Chains A and B, each alone.
Chain A
């Protein structure tokens, strides 16, 4: 077999995964740069078209223009409003998400130990999850008022549902051969949980976190829409009440950037946690 027709060799040359590490990194760096350039170009063209159309083809009262939106964002940054509202939303998100994730994991662990109770209760949990959570906000406001508690609670509910369902499914479906290994090696229950079950459930957990993080942020913002005097959601509501179109667009930009950043962070976290799974199997 000649070198050129050897299928193994030729795929090694073509497939970035089989390149030498340094060459792979260089290739990845190049492709990252190319992608960044493409996206910058698309956004620039879009903004230019928007700026051009505003006042020429479309009433600027309706679509404002990028420069005004940018000016508004700059103003919020300078007078501290952006930080003020963003920090409120991030705080609610942080406490809601972390408490929700911890509670979901603990409950999933308990139910993995008591599988019959778990499967019984899961039915109710799933039924409860079917309630659109927006509908609950007014009730929470009645209970807890307009403060951060209501937003944390919304975040908590959203995160804990998503993570519980995934964690319970992941933890109870540990492959039998890993559990047999644990038995042969006389691992205790805690070790089996921490060193085997959690890891085996990692693909479920990571994708749940990836899904839950932006959804929790949106839930918090929705709670802010419906009753608040702080937060990114409040920025949107206030701008729309004042019919301040540049501010409205600017608030939407803040919201989009927030959710997008969280999605990227979660995807990055997922890829770190799942590094042990070969890429083609993820």
Chain B
């Protein structure tokens, strides 16, 4: 593991106040945190005996790195992400998140977690949901609404700001979740199959958004996905997991390939080879 260099990123010294209405991206500095996973193992107790979901996971994710986890269903990806998110304490090992050196707004939470099913609050409108993290940490009403509207605009939901989650489609709800996660510029962004419910075009525009955010803020990102092309298009590193118990199988470093990576680029021999290899890791015939 040698990914120690951070990619260049915007370093303008403005604070976290987003100017309402201006189209220019707000370039607050907030670099990513480091994630250190050491000797993590997890066993779920269950009626039919203990289930070992994870074993001996050692992983260092550098600040600003984009890592994808791929593995077959039930191999422990969500469990690992829950542990990193702090929702689940592992039965063994530790996870350390070292916050970024400079923080634009130290009040705000450092971690964001977008899960397979959305966690929007049904009694709040889309914009109120997006503004919720800011509301919890003392950001004034005008500023938080301005920032929430800006993010909704970026995920293509400007016209749906006043709708409640029950009035939105699954893919729209997922986009609101993404806006909610990005609105507070987290140092660490964890995503569990965030694009599963989306069509290919919406997916692609959200990929662009993610890469923009990465370039702008240097957010450390961990993405769980079933889509190997998605992983190859976005990641600095792809990690394959083996099932039962979940273990790290292999990793693929892609830092030499600049992003965005076009659809055509992903068809070149090098990527085709990686794709084949990942399929083989996961036990598919190549």
Contacts and interface: CB of A to CB of B under 8 A. Distances in A.
B119 A199 contact: no
B121 interface: yes
A199 B121 CA distance: 9
Contacts of A178: 119, 121
B74 interface: no
Contacts of A183: 86-87
Interface of B: 85-87, 109, 111-113, 115, 117, 119, 121-124, 132-133, 135-137, 164, 166-167
A276 interface: yes
A184 B166 contact: no
A6 B264 CA distance: 40
B137 A186 contact: yes
Contacts of B111: 184
A132 interface: no
A196 B132 CA distance: 11
B136 A184 contact: no
A257 interface: no
A180 B119 CA distance: 9
A178 to B, nearest CB: 7
B219 to A, nearest CB: 15
A191 B137 CA distance: 10
A278 B132 CA distance: 22
A184 B109 contact: yes
A196 B136 CA distance: 11
Contact of A177 (B86, B119, B124, B136): B119
A178 B122 CA distance: 10
Interface string A107-137: 0000000000000000000000000000000
Interface of A: 177-178, 180-181, 183-187, 191, 195-196, 199, 202, 276-278, 281
B164 A276 contact: yes
B166 A187 contact: no
A278 B109 contact: no
Contacts of A199: 121, 123
Contacts of B113: 184
B108 to A, nearest CB: 8
A187 B117 CA distance: 20
A187 B123 contact: no
B122 to A, nearest CB: 6
A211 to B, nearest CB: 22
A199 to B, nearest CB: 5
B85 to A, nearest CB: 6
Contacts of A184: 85-87, 109, 111-113
A202 B109 CA distance: 27
Given A180-B87, A184-B85, A184-B87, A277 B109 contact: no
Contacts of A196: 121
Nearest to B137: A186
Nearest to B108: A186
20 contacts: A177-B117, A177-B119, A180-B119, A181-B119, A183-B86, A183-B87, A184-B85, A184-B87, A184-B109, A184-B111, A184-B112, A184-B113, A186-B137, A195-B135, A199-B121, A276-B123, A276-B124, A277-B166, A278-B166, A281-B166
Nearest to B167: A278
Tell which of A187, A199, A276 has the most Cβ of chain B within 10 Å. A276
Contacts of A186: 109, 136-137
B136 A277 contact: no
A196 B135 CA distance: 13
Given A184-B112, A276-B123, A276-B166, 8 more contacts: A177-B115, A184-B87, A184-B111, A185-B109, A185-B132, A195-B132, A196-B121, A277-B122
B123 A202 contact: yes
A195 B86 CA distance: 21
Contacts of B117: 177
A281 B123 CA distance: 13
Nearest to A180: B87
Contacts of A202: 123
A185 B113 CA distance: 9
A195 B122 contact: no
A215 to B, nearest CB: 27
A200 to B, nearest CB: 8
A276 B85 contact: no
A32 to B, nearest CB: 25
Contacts of A281: 166
Given A178-B121, A184-B111, A195 B166 contact: no
Contact of B136 (A180, A195, A276): A195
A195 B136 CA distance: 9
Given A177-B117, A184-B112, A191 B87 contact: no
